[in-house]
Structure 1
């Protein structure tokens, strides 16, 4: 028996770090090999097949898309003064309406009303309204809605702004 002042020393077994090091080296090798195969193109992205661009066949249409003939009807260019006093400037606005071919004559007959709505809306704007970054998007949406009300539902598909110059 050991004496009371002596402590018994027993060696504590530490686990080996060898499996940890082997796992780390193998994971680095695997990651490097995976990166190289993707980077070099040995395994193509997208499931292993390259998309093939097909040349459009003349006269063929996509069966999923409805075939609607669209025409563009020009709106008479409008010049309005914007602002007050010394800050007065002029806005030149020109646009075209995307219309189904069947409604072209109806929209052309209503062009004086469309120009009136355009002129009235643009005259009501302030200079600060036009200098905003989102002004053109808002202006396009507002004018398109007003023109659709004038011509009737389903006659005008879109409003294309061709000229928007603020002097």
Structure 2
């Protein structure tokens, strides 16, 4: 007897890659659209250039007065070295606030002197130290003078001997 012949099996169909490619393409398009909508302010309602450079957007005001702070010379704690810091600054204020700030100059000098004396030489030697120290001193001056009286602290001299 003869054996029944086996029919050749059809090879399994390969899964189509079309749905995968369409999914990736639609995902990229959605991500790009979402990025653009957020960046342009359509979703969150912010201007992308609003926070780009706040210093560049501020126009210098003509209504500014400067109050000079007495020069300070403080000795700094160091590793067996006796070093001195010479500091001179001006306070930027509005012309209306200038008399009030001038009345409080002894307190401002005291708070700056106390802060600078607490520093160590290592605190000053860091390249980014001046920006950090300036922000700390401005905050202390604003606490002493009251909110809204002093806009900025301008460092005129900062010399370590």
Instruction: Name the CA distance, whole Å, in 2 between partners of 1:134 and 1:82.
Output: 18
**How many equivalent residue pairs?**
103
Instruction: Name the CA distance, whole Å, in 1 between partners of 2:120 and 2:136.
Output: 15
> Unmatched 5+ residue regions in structure 1?
1-64
Instruction: Name the CA distance, whole Å, in 2 between partners of 1:104 and 1:83.
Output: 34
- TM-score normalised by the chain length of structure 2: 0.61
**Could you tell me how far 1:83 is from its partner in structure 2?**
2.0
**Are positions 1:77 and 2:107 aligned together?**
no
Q: Kindly tell me: are residues 164 and 109 of structure 1, through their superposed partners in 2, closer, same or farther at Cα, counting changes over 3 Å? A: same
**Could you tell me how far 1:68 is from its partner in structure 2?**
5.6
Instruction: Name the CA distance, whole Å, in 1 between partners of 2:120 and 2:80.
Output: 14
Q: Kindly tell me: are residues 166 and 68 of structure 1, through their superposed partners in 2, closer, same or farther at Cα, counting changes over 3 Å? A: same
**Are positions 1:110 and 2:99 aligned together?**
no
Q: Kindly tell me: are residues 68 and 155 of structure 1, through their superposed partners in 2, closer, same or farther at Cα, counting changes over 3 Å? A: farther
**What secondary structure does 1:76 align onto?**
strand
User: Given the alignment, which residue of 112, 130, 139 partners 1:136?
Assistant: 130
> Unmatched 5+ residue regions in structure 2?
1-58
Q: Kindly tell me: are residues 137 and 66 of structure 1, through their superposed partners in 2, closer, same or farther at Cα, counting changes over 3 Å? A: closer
Instruction: Name the CA distance, whole Å, in 2 between partners of 1:90 and 1:67.
Output: 36
8 A contact 1:118–1:143 mirrored in 2: yes
- TM-score normalised by the chain length of structure 1: 0.59
Q: Kindly tell me: are residues 119 and 87 of structure 1, through their superposed partners in 2, closer, same or farther at Cα, counting changes over 3 Å? A: same
8 A contact 1:68–1:100 mirrored in 2: no
Equivalent residue number for residue 93 of structure 1: 87
Instruction: Name the CA distance, whole Å, in 1 between partners of 2:158 and 2:121.
Output: 13
Deviating beyond 4 angstroms after TM superposition, the runs of 4 or more aligned structure 1 residues are: 65-68
**Could you tell me how far 1:86 is from its partner in structure 2?**
3.4
**Could you say which structure has the larger radius of gyration?**
1
Report Cα offsets for 1:45-66 as digits up to 9, x if no partner. xxxxxxxxxxxxxxxxxxxx79
Equivalent residue number for residue 155 of structure 1: 149
Equivalent residue number for residue 56 of structure 1: none
